[in-house]
Amino acid sequence: MVDYLIVGAALALAIFILVRRVVHIGRGGGCGCEGGVQTTRRRRRRARRIDAERYPYVLELQVGGMHCENCARRIEGALQSLDVIAEAKLPGTVIVRSKHPIDKEACSKVARDAGYEVINATA
């Protein structure tokens, strides 16, 4: 009898975790893009004015595998670890701005480490 209770509790826990994950993806959390299906949720961002004089160095990355706004947020966060301002635009462009010269290879490596393919990087 105890064995049935343990198996039932484990099954109930697994179902609970699965339902939470599905709801989380449905609300825009996690990637959940499944290789090209874009989410319809709008990204909420604070409006920020980027002054070209303050950030004279610009790098444009063409990125493969960035299909939804969750992917865009993930790559922005990864690149901002390099002390730059990164703005991702669907379907696959990331604009990187900095006050100091930008290392193309470092940005490409961070993007690849985040799980995306860098197709082209132009300054």
Cα–Cα distances in angstroms (integers) from residue 71 to residues 5, 40, 88, in the given order: 41, 13, 9
Cα–Cα distance measured from residue 5 to residue 89, given in angstroms and rounded to the nearest whole number: 51
- Could you tell me the pLDDT band of residue 24, with boundaries at 50, 70 and 90? low
**What distance in Å separates the CA atoms of residue 8 and residue 43, rounded to the nearest whole number?**
40
pLDDT of 53 reads 73
Could you tell me the pTM of the whole model?
0.62
Give residue 110's identity as a one-letter amino acid code.
V
Question: Is 60 exceeded by the pLDDT of residue 38?
Answer: no
Mean pLDDT over each residue of the chain, to the nearest integer: 80
